[in-house]
Amino acid sequence: MNSPTLPCATKSATCGSIFDAPRLKSELTAIEQKLSDPSLWSNPQLSQPIMRDRKRMEEQLASDEELAGRTGDIEAYFDLAREGEPVEAELEKEIQSLNEYADGLEARTMLSGETDPLNAIVVVHPGAGGTESQDWAEMLMRMYLRWAEQQGFKTEMNDYQDGEEAGIKSATFTITGEYAYGLLSGETGVHRLVRISPFDQAKRRHTSFASVYVSPEIDDSIQIDIKPEDLRIDTYRSGGKGGQHVNTTDSAVRMTHLSTGIVVACQNERSQHKNRDRAMKMLRSRLYEYELEKKRQATKKLEDSKLDINFGSQIRSYVLQPYRIAKDHRTKVEVGDVDRVLDGYLEPFIRGYLKMRRNGGVPAAVEQEDDLP
């Protein structure tokens, strides 16, 4: 049999780990010694960054072991092939799996921003178009929730408004996991769907838009000052699909930041106090991202990357008719298996955006994937 081409991660792993495991183990030991100091836990601003560093190093060491294990499996298949065993199908499957794993590791190496390691708060809104756009917004929401599930991340729905006939009017949810924000930061923008509408009796092709906004969940180590006089807080009764657990008290909270017009809402918790705390955390995250965006605009660092979030300037199209493809208009990344994308397969787009960001807004070489089994 012809030997398939090994991914770069496999070659590296056969000659030694792509991570400096001995150094990481030494640094991890030093961190464990710091965390053994009881006085550290009384200061969250000091302990939280150290805890994040420990988790990052533990994950890197786990990745090192995973690479070594996968490489060993592939080498074992090669040994069996040399002995005449029919293992080509299994070997190609293992190499494809390792390629995808190595691509994910490559994406992690490009996450160096201050807020990249943080959790992500995702807001999805339908565009104009009524039921059609509301259904598309729900499809996007599901796509990100499925992606988070596949990454092993936790999700929490903060605010959810049903559409009138189908779909959603809005949804806000938090994705909790290491580098969740960094991985999803490129998803902010307008997403376009082209399909035969299931709500059109004439079976005509429709174009729908929905916007996605991703912000980092800011922890206590980053200070955001919010003046009480610049804040309006409204309470209202939580909505839902019905049932015995529907909240019948005015526990939902909506906060409006008067200076910027930023509005956040939370109705997930039964307690108004907990909803208020959660909404304040969401507001701090939105304000932090708002200030970062102002700085980016002032320095014009992203002038050429076309990241404006306006309807008609979509960042990505998902075409189901007359052909099938998902295409990012900034990075030029294309995936033919659009159904897989809508089921949470976002890795090619995430990787393409991170490469473009690393290159100062210039897209990397065009990445195109055919339909996958």
Does position 239 have pLDDT exceeding 70, yes or no? no
Nearest to 317 by CA among 214, 170, 213, 210: 210
Q: What is the mean pLDDT of the chain?
A: 82
DSSP assignments along 160-186, one per residue: EEE-SSSSEEEEEEEEESTTHHHHHGG
CA 117 – CA 101 distance, rounded (Å) = 19
Q: What is the number of other CB atoms lying within 10 angstroms of the CB of residue 371?
A: 12
Domains of the chain from N-terminus onward: 8-109 (1.20.58.410), 120-216+304-369 (3.30.70.1660), 228-299 (3.30.160.20)
CA 41 – CA 32 distance, rounded (Å) = 13
Residue 180: pLDDT band with limits 50, 70, 90: very high
253-300 pLDDT, tens digit each: 999 999 889 999 998 887 888 898 888 888 988 888 888 777 666 544
- E-state strands within 201-294: 205-216, 231-236, 252-257, 262-266
Percent of the chain topping pLDDT 90: 35
Does position 10 have pLDDT exceeding 50, yes or no? no
